[in-house]
Every structure is written in structure tokens, then in C-alpha cells.
Amino acid sequence: MLEEIYKETANHMSKSIEAMKKEFLTLRTGKVTTAVVDHVKVDYYGTPTPLNQVASVTSLDATTIAISPWEKNMLPEIERAIQQANIGVNPNNDGDFIKLFFPPMTTEQREQIVKQAKAMAEKAKVAVRNVRKDANNKIKRLEKEKAISEDESKKAQEKIQKLTDEHIAKIDAALKSKEADILKV
């Protein structure tokens, strides 16, 4: 029973870290990535559709993204969706494809993005702590039902705390790495 709780807890905590890392991809660093437009939804014949499902999105260099729609009549819709997404640049439509030119980031922008990264990391830590709380509640319930002894309960809660500390350390390491990436000029 306890092994199942440990396994489930570690799994949920790891998922929290993965979600944070996915969110980190949407943050702009010194080099622009196509992940910046991942959350952009285009009105495709009345259905909000992810941009990468109606067009080819490629990173040409450190500051430029090119978007080539599979259907030419989608250009205005894609352009409108990018403007509404407010990603910090205006789309340049040349009739065949759209280019996004990202200017070099200022120090203030970098600091603002670092704040966003810290907020994302804090959200992940809260998620990990909530998983810990759920696991501890399950352990206490087992103790209350006399399925495990008081000593086993204490040991199990200590093991859950150890798992929590490990995952919080992983979050801090990922944040530190992302922070360095954002601040690197």
C-alpha cells in the first residue's frame, strides 16, 4: 500500500516539474524559439486551432521566426491571431508567409521574464507541496484505519518529505538554468 503511495506521489511530482518546463519554453530567452507561438490559436474555419496545425513554423535565426501557412487564404487569420496573442512583435506579411522579427531584449525585459519564470517555478513548488499533502493524508488515513502502525506512518511521511525535497531541488535547478539562459546576452 505504501509503495503504491510513494510511486503515485513521485509520479505526480514529476508531472508538476514537466508542466513547469513546458511553461518555461514559452518564455523568450536571448535566442527566440518557435515555442513562443505555441499558445497562438488561429480561427480555422470557425474552430480555434493551434498555429502549428495550420502552418509550418520555423526559426530562421536567433531573432526571426517564419510562418508558412499550408493554405494561402489563412495568412490574414494567422496575422490576426498573432496580433491578438500579444507576443511582443507585429507580424510582417509578404503575401507568401509571415515573418516575426524579435528585437534584442533589454535588461528590463530580461528581468521581467525572469520574474515570470520565478512565478512559474513557485506554482510548480505549490503543486508539489499539494501532492505531498495528499500523500500524507492517505498515510494518516491508513494509520487511522489501523492498516499501518504509528511508526510506519512516521517513516512513510518522512519518505514523502524526502521526495518533496528532491523535487523542489529539481525545480530550483531548472529555474536557475532558465534564469541563466534568459540573462545571457
pLDDT for residue 117: 94
Q: What is the pLDDT of residues 36-52, one digit of tens each?
A: 888 899 998 889 999 98
pLDDT for residue 34: 85
pLDDT for residue 151: 92
pLDDT for residue 178: 92
Residues contacting 164, CB < 8 A, separation 6+: 13, 128, 129, 131, 132
pLDDT for residue 130: 96
pLDDT for residue 86: 81
Intervals of the chain under pLDDT 70: 185
Which residues does residue 22 pair with via DSSP β-bridges, in sequence order?
none
pLDDT for residue 87: 81
Please give the model's pTM, rounded to 2 decimal places.
0.76
pLDDT for residue 152: 92
pLDDT for residue 139: 93
